[in-house]
Structures are given as C-alpha cells and as structure tokens.
Amino acid sequence: MSAHRPYPTVEALLAAADEAAYDLTSGDLAEALAGEPATALPDRGNLAVHTALRAAHAAYESKFGHAFVIALAEEDPAVVLDQTLESLRTRLGHDEDEESVVTAEQLRRICRARLLRLVADPAPIGSPDRAGSITPGLPRGTQPTSRRYDGRGRWTIPGRA
C-alpha cells in the first residue's frame, strides 16, 4: 500500500486496504497474525463468561496456532462478550481453510477500522502515535507548509509552480 501513496481520498485509501487484504497469501496472513494481539475484552461480565472465553481462546489457539481475532463494532460490554463467545464456538467448528478465510476477513475489518480512526484523529507531529512510538517532528530550521494533492499523483505547495 505504501508504494501507491498518497491516496487522494479516504475512500481510495480504504479501497486499497481492502484490495491488499483480499490478496493476502497464507504466508502474509500468518505474518499479520503473528503481530496481532488477541482481541481485548471488557472486564465486565461474570466469572463464568470469562472462564468460558479463556477456555475457548485456548482451544482456538491450540487448534489454529494463532490468536483469535474478531472485529467488534459493538460498544456494550455484555454484547461484546456474547458475540465473542458465540464467534469462538462457531469458528472452532471450522477446518483450517475455512477459518483462514474468516480470519482474513476479520483482519480486513480490523485494518479498516484502524485506518478510519487514524484518519479521523491523526496524531500531531512530534507526539506519541497510536502505537506509542514518537512521530518525528520537522527537521530543525524548517517551517510547516500547506500541501495540496493535485489529483495526478503529486503534492504541490500553494504559490509554487
């Protein structure tokens, strides 16, 4: 995706991300999953639900060899827990090929949500980004400039030819 930057619109960025996700090989998927943390779950809920989730997560990781990932759009903790447990139980019944397709789709959705969050609230220059690393500031002695995308693959600075 970075080879085709900059993207003129958010829609173009999301379309490129979707295309890249659809083109994942099994090796690409394994690499993406190796760096993907398990889906964080809310602390709310009773002990029985969390015990069932931990057991299902362990069974999933044992069967498929990677963390269980799911794109969750719901905010209600009770619904999140129910959706996760239901999805785990369903996906444990999949064979490896079927689960690979489902996992790739979940990663695509997660990536899409992350891109939308970044576009909606980008980290300012010189501040910690979403991953906690420091985005480098401008080089010493330079001033920020306003740049515009010209629609033909180039960024231009207003007032310059």
- Beta-bridge partners for 149: 155
- The model carries a pTM of 0.67
Residue type at position 27: G
From the options 3.30.365.10, 3.40.50.1000, 1.10.260.40, 1.10.3330.10, give the CATH code of 2-128+146-156: 1.10.3330.10
**For every one of its 161 residues, what pLDDT tens digit does the chain have, with 9 covering 90 and above?**
777 778 888 898 899 999 988 888 888 888 888 877 766 677 766 788 888 888 998 999 999 998 899 988 777 777 888 888 899 999 999 999 999 999 999 999 988 988 998 888 765 554 444 444 344 444 555 555 555 555 555 555 555 55
For residue 15, the tally of other CB atoms under 10 A from its CB is 12
Angle at 120 between CA 12 and CA 44, to 5 degrees: 120
For the chain, the helix, strand and coil percentages under 3-state DSSP, each to the nearest 5: 50, 5, 45
